[in-house]
Structure 1
């Protein structure tokens, strides 16, 4: 058996798979986020350990599951968090999370230094780890002086499990300290933040061994001592391992609260000017690109609240047949946008409202606007050298057949719908555990799921949606101008 532990913002999931990658069982434990000031988002790392214990115990309590049969553990987690430890591994302050924006000034300062884009291949976003440390240095200098190690959230769980300071390439890509091409820490970038290499964890590939389970903890948890803990991955790369998005040219589109267009690459293809994330993947000599939008199903949920209806009812009202875009354009920038604008200040809007703009028209506009945002991501990936000929849809929004028709037509590629199953980050982490424990080839283990159906683009509406996309693109600078 192989265990995947996924540390999410809202909880920890423990997923157990057998040697044939069949899911045997799972356990969950909830987490909460502290927001002591506007724009702040923090968690106590001790809560992660408590939640991991609870999730593992819940898994072990299921009939027929013997935790002593586990032969490897894989880790996944939310990225970019700054977990600060002193020389005795005591946590110095609550972890500053990925969605904390207090360091937006520091992020711009670092991004204005050419070395960051040149070495990391990415914009320095406020959510990344490096600007958080610069903020701590400015605002909490007494804490900054005590920092002996900076760990990413999932790697604090690794410290608990193994007693070692280790991270993987994919998660470390989101710090703004990694030389992405060399897959190593950059002394230049660390120095720009008054940091040193010895304050960083050792690096391994996600499919390699990244420590072994402590004997005393193994006894406490009911596991076997000394089993390997895989390097693991950041949450998006782990999800890609779960989806089998590891071969060059494979891609998925995630219609979750936020949205991700994720493409695997055989080489390092940066394009920071378009706000594309170019990160290391969770296996050797593999990279990936991501276009990220901040409001996907979140935009539909927001509109559903205003319309006083459930999101599924709104999309269901549209029927099965795709309709040509109407006169209303929706910009889904409810909390700013990342790809391609890197604009935290922009906000969403409806453009082109008229007396005939009924609920159905606005629902269609929302689905189309989010799909156009994904088209922006695809164009950004294309500018960075990645052409996609199909994508796999995952996430809650993928349950809407109508939305997938819009997406296929807007992106002008087939959209595959996987067969039912759990292919998320915890499953990807379990796959990486199998690779590390068995010294298996990750490309052979991380295969894609069976395809249940494929949504083809509506060729007859290609021109109509292309014209609507051009209106969408023209709306951003106009709305941005009104907000300045």
Structure 2
């Protein structure tokens, strides 16, 4: 038997085919385009998601027809928060509004005024990336579309509907809508009614590791499958990545330096800290939760600098250690605003303390250090909610840099471990959830951490230097906070 894990990202769809022991047999990718019709809009076509998913699956079917024919389960992971809107006939009403679309900033303030205890219900601040403010924006600026909405689906749940014909979602992904009572793991009628919606507009909730629906018969026949195929609840991208990297039990954690930066910690119970913009979400396995701190420009900051200096990222990573200095500029990586701990969409990127003596190596170092400081700022917010970590897996494109790993470990004060095959984390995690849904194995038997290939421990001397610079980094944001709004 085999399992399929599908990860619907922002830039591509990744699909992995695994065997009964969750070993990866094959993987495939298909690219996606993001449309930006107006700043700061960010949209995609749901039909493009479906086409890319079919293309990626077709490549695996062609390469491994026998193993694919023994498919027993499908798991889905996806970019969170996106508003995918269907009418009663199943027609998509407009392009999906994505997680990084910030048009609904004013609606966040309005929503929290409509439901003064919204943070107690949802465990989170209202942020423009979340789904509910997007629908409040839609009710004002596209009222005809809003009136026609029958179902609001998250991106991966749209793919699940195309696969099964049923409207389902899981607890981890639904946590990012601001419609979920995260402690109760159920839709909040109060949060829904504040937007003029009801449970009828929402998909049915299941746990991520539980069966959600069966693959449609026509797809089963078209794909020449031997028997019925279960589609599980699945997970939001970070929760699925956690399952793929072995982060499922309280105290487990990972630090991801991708386009954005995420510190994800599995928690013993529901532990919110909305005042510092910590995300307190359900995990994708029953009766477990997690916290996240998020920055919007992690590896994206280094890509921005590479374009500015007309140098590739690999070259900047190579020269950055030679720019390490107590007198290097301080960099605030707020190129696209910020989430944890400030939730400040107006925040801007800053180089502070530049002189004619500074060169490309100093700027490269400052950017990498600034991202490490932003992650340390987020960790402080997690600590304020009761989370203390001794180690975390190190994933994402930034994890390829040993120097960045050393910087982050020293700034955060705990060990980072780079695991084998972490680039397939979310898709592998989705496949593992499908296995759990089909086989009813224990979590410990399925969710195992891949082998560690490199460890980065905090360095006492570097930590001492970084301590003074981190204090200045924090003071700079506070000093400039009011200026960002002018």
Establish whether TM, by shorter chain, passes 0.5: yes
Gaps of 5+ in 2: none
1:195 pairs with one of 173, 197, 202: 197
The aligned counterpart of 1:251 is 253
Equivalent residues of 2:323, 2:362 under 8 A apart: no
Structure 1 match to 2:177: 175
Residues 55 and 213 of structure 1, relative CA distance in 2, 3 Å threshold:
same
Cα drift, residue 327 of structure 1: 4.2
Corresponding residue SS for 1:424: helix
Instruction: State the alpha-carbon separation in 1 of the partners of residues 364 and 12 from structure 2.
Output: 31
TM-score, normalising length: structure 2: 0.96
Q: Find out whether 1:396 has 2:397 as its counterpart.
A: yes
Does the CA-based 8 Å contact 1:27-1:57 persist in structure 2?
no
Structure 2 residue aligned with 1:354: 355
* Residue in structure 2 matching 1:313, options 309, 312, 315: 315
Structure 2 partner of 1:116 = 118
Q: Which shows bigger deviation, 465-474 or 113-122?
A: 113-122
Aligned ranges 1:34-433 → 2 under 5 Å? 34-63=35-64, 65-112=66-113, 113-224=115-226, 226-319=228-321, 323-420=324-421, 422-433=423-434
Matched residues in 1 for 2:286 and 2:444: separation?
10
| Segment drifting more, 386-395 vs 412-421 | 412-421
What CA distance in whole angstroms lies between the structure 1 residues aligned with 2:189 and 2:287?
Answer: 21
Give the conservation status (yes or no) of the 8 Å contact 1:322–1:402: no
Deviations 1:172-218 (A, max 9, x none): 00100000000000001001111111111110000000100111121
Q: Which runs of 5+ in 1 are unaligned?
A: none
Task: Provide the rounded CA distance (Å) in 1 between the counterparts of 2:481 and 2:14.
Answer: 40
Moved over 6 A (4+): none
Deviations 1:237-280 (A, max 9, x none): 11111011111111111011110001011200000010000000
Q: What displacement does 1:130 show?
A: 0.5
Distance across 2 between alignment mates of 1:459 and 1:288: 30
- What is the TM-score normalised by the length of structure 1? 0.96
CA distance in 2, matches of 1:138, 1:18: 49
CA distance in 2, matches of 1:86, 1:362: 50
Query: 1:19 matched to which residue of 2?
Result: 20
- Cα 1:65–1:422 change in 2 (3 A) is farther
After TM superposition, the structure 1 stretch with the greater mean CA deviation from structure 2, 261-270 or 98-107, is: 98-107
Is residue 247–residue 443 contact of structure 1 (8 Å, CA) maintained in 2?
no
Number of aligned residue pairs? 483
Matches of 1:476 and 1:244, distance apart in 2: 35
Change (3 A) 1:193 1:107: same
Looking at structure 2, the residues matched to 346 and 288 of structure 1 have their Cα atoms a distance apart, in angstroms, of 26
